[in-house]
């Protein structure tokens, strides 16, 4: 996989980089980053609000106001930070006998997700040329960054929904009590299933979350409709897919066990831990306090003793539930 700043969208970021680089660098990298943010804010405050330039700089200042110093140093203050046209990267890859496959997320690969209202126009301009389609998506969307997957073997084409039947899926949605076909995401968006059968299958996946179920085992007769529904959810970023099944622990366990890797990370006093989905998350302070001690030897009363303050039993339950939903608990044997 290659990660790179992509043109033409990154040209706009170059303006921000030029402003940040104008500040004299400090000996301390963190101070350097903070000075660059302060300088950007000062410049933004003096730009005219009713011009494209002023709008761009002011938006950048708001977006980067609390940026991590490491991000500022790498993106805007590093001596070299090149950007490329997708077709130039593709040309170099072909010289190395590599073929473009896709982006790692369907949501950034398919025109219907990148440009929902102009996907047909983008496809028409590409006229069946998959590589040209990606360049057109870059130009139309203005995205500034890509993570492109390349392979020694030519791709078979765009993602085939039928392949979903060979995979395992996990889905976190909330079913609407007033409309059994309607589901809500954590950000308040709504998904409406095309039939009661598909709605029940989606509900089955949400019921076992964060565990992962085999798509082939979902009791749906209309497999085409199921494939289309899951492809839509996957390309929207709500459905998690992987090749192997995954079992997880539940908060209801008598003596819960956190994943061993997460326990090690928590003992090292990191601000994040790795889930069984291989994602880095930052649980609440109560949850982080419990993780190193969730080794299967402590019941709830013993776990409550590890916390400070009032309402400790209720806080233990809340922390365990959070760890369950984040796939940080191991299944009971």
Domain ranges across the chain: 10-77, 83-151, 161-242, 260-325
Cβ neighbours of residue 193 closer than 8 Å, sequence gap 6 or more: 181, 182, 183, 199, 202, 229
| Residue 26 pLDDT | 63
pLDDT at 46 over 90: yes
The residue to which tokens 């790179």 are assigned: 4
Helix (H, G, I), strand (E, B) or coil at 102: strand
DSSP string for residues in 33-89: HHHHHHHHHHHHHTS-TTSHHHHHHHHHHHHTTT--HHHHIIIIISS---EEEHHHH
The whole-chain average pLDDT of the chain stands at 89
Whether the pLDDT of residue 222 is over 70: the answer is yes
pLDDT at 2 over 80: yes
Task: Please report, to the nearest 10 degrees, the dihedral formed by the alpha carbons of residues 200, 204, 205, 211 taken in order.
Answer: 180
Residues 76, 14: contact at Cβ < 8 Å?
Answer: no
pLDDT per residue over 144-163, tens digit each? Answer: 999 898 999 887 777 777 88
Convert the pLDDT of each residue in 168-193 to its tens digit: 998 888 898 889 999 998 788 888 99
- Higher-scoring residue by pLDDT: 293, 112: 293
50 half-sphere exposure, CB direction, 13 A CA radius: 0
Cα(144)–Cα(84) distance, integer angstroms:
10
Beta bridge partners of 102: 149
pLDDT tens-digit series, residues 223-276: 989 988 888 888 777 888 888 888 888 998 899 999 999 999 998 877 789 998
Instruction: Report residue 333 CA to chain centroid gap.
Output: 31
Max Cα distance, the chain (Å): 66
Q: For residue 55, what are its two tokens? A: 């709008």
Q: What is the mean pLDDT of residues 106-120?
A: 83
In this structure, the number of other CB atoms found within 10 A of the CB of residue 134 comes to 25
């Amino acid at each position: 996989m290659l990660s790179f700043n992509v043109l033409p969208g990154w040209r706009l970021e170059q303006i921000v980089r030029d402003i940040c680089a104008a500040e004299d660098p400090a000996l301390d990298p963190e101070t350097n980053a903070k000075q660059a943010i302060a300088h950007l804010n000062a410049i933004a405050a003096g730009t005219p609000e009713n011009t494209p330039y002023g709008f761009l700089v002011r938006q950048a200042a708001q977006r980067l106001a609390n940026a991590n110093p490491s991000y500022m140093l790498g993106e805007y203050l590093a001596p070299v930070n090149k950007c490329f046209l997708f077709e130039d990267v593709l040309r170099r890859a072909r010289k190395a006998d590599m073929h473009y496959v896709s982006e790692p997320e369907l949501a950034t690969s398919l025109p219907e997700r990148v440009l929902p209202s102009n996907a047909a126009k983008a496809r028409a301009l590409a006229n069946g040329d998959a590589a040209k389609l990606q360049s057109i998506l870059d130009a139309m969307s203005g995205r500034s960054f890509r993570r492109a997957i390349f392979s020694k073997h030519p791709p078979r084409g765009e993602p085939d929904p039928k392949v979903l039947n060979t995979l395992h899926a996990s889905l976190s949605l909330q079913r609407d009590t007033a409309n059994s076909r309607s589901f809500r995401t954590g950000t308040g968006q709504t998904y409406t299933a095309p039939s009661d059968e598909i709605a029940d299958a989606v509900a089955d996946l949400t019921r076992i979350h964060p565990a992962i179920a085999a798509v082939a085992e979902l009791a749906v007769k209309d497999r085409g409709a199921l494939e289309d529904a899951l492809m839509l959810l996957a390309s929207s970023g709500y459905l998690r897919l992987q090749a192997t099944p995954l079992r997880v622990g539940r908060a209801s366990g008598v003596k819960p066990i956190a994943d061993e890797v997460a326990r090690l990370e928590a003992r090292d006093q990191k601000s994040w831990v790795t889930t069984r989905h291989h994602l880095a998350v930052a649980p609440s302070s109560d949850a982080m306090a419990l993780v190193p001690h969730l080794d299967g030897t402590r019941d709830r009363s013993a776990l409550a003793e590890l916390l400070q303050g009032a309402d400790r039993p209720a806080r233990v339950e809340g922390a365990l539930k959070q760890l369950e939903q984040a796939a940080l608990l191991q299944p009971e044997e």
